[in-house]
Structure 1
């Protein structure tokens, strides 16, 4: 999907330059305010999902694209706390809308057989845009001009990339979306928790768990590699290599996943992520740690794609937006908790013990997700049999 490539290119152009620009003016406090406001705004995902069920994913994608571009444009103002908070709030709502819109569009406009290549292709475009944005942001800023000129131009270019995605949003199946909206018209949060309580509570719990262990580990990877003996000058190279490995995995994931069950792929991928994280925790060799991180990137891709396929197959079409919103809000809540606890854990226990905790949480997720979605599948398969037996009795 070309839209995904443009969106993530713009996102990472901006995310890479944003802190550098604010740091140049000693305004990192305002950067922190903007970042926090964006995270808080992301917790509105559950309400955005409700709008997606009512209006359709394309409308949410259009609105989210405009809002995210506007929030990114406000980042050129570095010396105002009010503008920084406004930028984070607007961009946070916009980004959440885009993420939910992409997932609900896939559910509304594809069959189960079509989803594997589409989700894999979207993840590939995500990784390609991320790599391009991160890799060219600094060079672009330097090429355009020294000082504020380069940073401001890149920030505006990033916002323009995202806004240009409006012309690349794919059309939807009008009949399918209209039918979904009609079914969702009278359904609210009470309906979700009354008729799908187990599903809602399960996705909230799993989303919270994944957010927690991700934020305990990911922000501290540069520190972890340095402590394992990787030269500071090469830490960025190792992280870039992990991104390339994940991009390569995304390129071949579609063909591999078409031939295998998402349940099995998730179990193997997430278990291997846990094993790679364990090696990262126990490694005394810098190059073993670097290899473990690169391998982890490939398996993380498999876990990410297969989990989304499990969600797409399990969520009722008319309520998909609400459920994806619940997943995203729970993930961000877990991310906030993990981020707050992570620094304390590293300080109190050291990196090895903290990464061991992340390993245990990853392994728990590897077991709980297949158990949960496997049970949902068994229940859905037995429900028609029970209805048939009841009708003939």
Structure 2
């Protein structure tokens, strides 16, 4: 574990509360809407959140000069408002409004959190890999705990309004974070205050190719993930055993995170990343051609669990090394927007392929996309890192 002086206590508390609140609200909302036969409105809210969240790169261009503290103080309340509107399941309009407000609030808060993490990484370069992977570790643990807590509270609370109470409480939890002290009052890098007009990073070709490569990454992560409970059940496991397997799958992902914290992997993040993606993709394609049964489903989940954990941990380390520091928020906004849009497209594409062609074809296609996305993103990383290093050395010779 990282020493407290490297990861400040206020960041630990912030991440735990933020992701626990997010997890409780997400879990309760789908159950609340399902209880009232309003899953269509839930899907509208989910899609709205993804679409508005994907616009964060536009917002980031206007607030590039804002401090991390200011970003959180403005957009945490906005996220809380969106979450509190989830109590209204009847109206499609309110569902869309709730998703839109939540999408904007959450996406900018996540930009601020990543900027905070990169700020600490700049201050402690010898621990940068551990610091960057720390956020994803806390996120997975907090979301897992949030799901467990939510399920237990629903079971033990005997009141008709328990879902409303939990949705409101999860929103209020975010408000407690607004007054947190010692949040950096400047961004992770010093930037000149530009006019408040929409703009892309200086290198437009980098922006476009980065957006497309991350879009493919987003598709790969969501192509099959939402369907995993259905796939487990379809290979012959009953509902009780299927829920246990799915829970173990989540725990396995959390444990896999710690594997990629070893220096042998984190110090060579780009090489580990492309090796992991290519190897996982090939194995998954083979499993799809063989045909998934009960035993191979467990093998498949293990491969996906390791691939997903390594994907997120290594990807963020790579981004720290390749993104230009003077336009960090702009690039993070582009990455987050592309990933959210890819996530939305992937879930739709995956459901369509599964409905028409079945799970084995879907699994094979997943393996192909993992290979393509991994190779594309690694190539983008090599190119952008060379350009950044060249610009840094060129700047150094002039000063």
Q: Fold-level match, TM-score > 0.5?
A: yes
State which of 209, 219, 225 in structure 2 corresponds to 1:218.
Answer: 225
**TM-score, normalization: structure 1?**
0.88
* Match in the other structure for 1:88: 99
Q: How far apart are the structure 1 equivalents of 2:396 and 2:30? A: 60
Aligned to 1:31: 42
Structure 1, unaligned stretches of length 5 or more? none
- 1:70 touches 1:159 (CA, 8 Å); kept in 2? yes
Using the alignment, how far apart are the partners of 1:8 and 1:350 within structure 2? 34
Contact 2:260 2:310 in 1 (8 A): yes
- The aligned counterpart of 2:130 is 117
1:198 is aligned to: 205
Deviations 1:333-362 (A, max 9, x none): 222322332222112222111221111010
Q: Provide the aligned C-alpha RMSD in A.
A: 2.6
1:107, distance to aligned residue in structure 2 (A): 2.5
For residue 245 of structure 2, what is the aligned residue in structure 1?
A: 238
Contact 1:108 1:317 in 2 (8 A): no
Question: The residue matched to 2:224 in structure 1 has which SS?
Answer: helix
CA distance, structure 2, for counterparts of residue 163 and residue 188 of structure 1: 29
SS at match of 2:301: helix
Give the aligned partner of residue 194 of structure 2.
Answer: 185
Determine the C-alpha separation between the residues in 2 that align with 1:223 and 1:169: 44
Residue 325 of structure 1 corresponds to 333
| 1:338 paired to 2:346 | yes
How far apart, in 2, do the equivalents of 1:187 and 1:309 lie?
30
Q: Is this contact kept in 2: 1:67–1:91, CA < 8 A?
A: yes
Counterpart residue number, 1:60: 71
Aligned residues, how many? 384
Q: Which residue of 1 aligns with 2:176?
A: 164
In the alignment, the residues of structure 2 paired with residue 115 and residue 95 of structure 1 have an alpha-carbon distance, to the nearest angstrom, of 24
Q: 2:371 aligns with which of 350, 355, 363?
A: 363
Provide the TM-score with structure 2 as the length reference.
Answer: 0.87
Alignment deviations for residues 284-325 of structure 1 (CA, whole Å, 9 cap, x no partner): 431331233134213321221111111122112221111111
Q: CA deviation at 1:187?
A: 8.9
Q: How far 1:258 sits from its partner (Å)?
A: 7.2
For residues 357 and 68 of structure 1, the distance between their equivalents in structure 2, rounded to whole angstroms, comes to 35
- Rate the CA distance shift 1:299–1:212 in 2: closer, same or farther, 3 A: closer
What's the CA shift for 1:139? 1.6
Contact 2:141–2:254 under 8 Å retained in 1: yes
> Retained in 1: the 8 A contact 2:190–2:326?
yes
Maintained 8 Å contact 1:48/1:321? no
CA offsets, 1:146-188, max 9 Å, x none? 43x22112112211223233344752164x65x6232x52596
The answer as to whether partners of 1:208 and 1:330 remain within 8 angstroms in 2 is yes
Which structure 2 residues correspond to residues 1-393 of structure 1 after superposition, within 5 A? 1-111=12-122, 112-147=125-160, 149-168=161-180, 171-172=183-184, 174=186, 180-182=190-192, 185=194, 190=199, 192=201, 195-256=202-263, 260-275=267-282, 277-278=284-285, 280-281=287-288, 282-382=290-390
Check conservation: 2:21, 2:170, Cα contact below 8 A.
yes
Give, in whole Å, the separation in 1 of the partners of 2:175 and 2:354: 40
Q: Distance in 2 between matches of 1:387 and 1:121?
A: 32
Q: Contact 1:181 / 1:318 at 8 angstroms: preserved in 2?
A: yes
The change in CA–CA distance for 1:108 and 1:186 in structure 2 (over 3 A counts) is farther
Give the Cα separation in 1 of the matches to 2:396 and 2:332. 31
- Cα distance in 2 between the residues matched to 1:187 and 1:267: 38
- 2 CA distance for matches of 1:92 and 1:189? 19
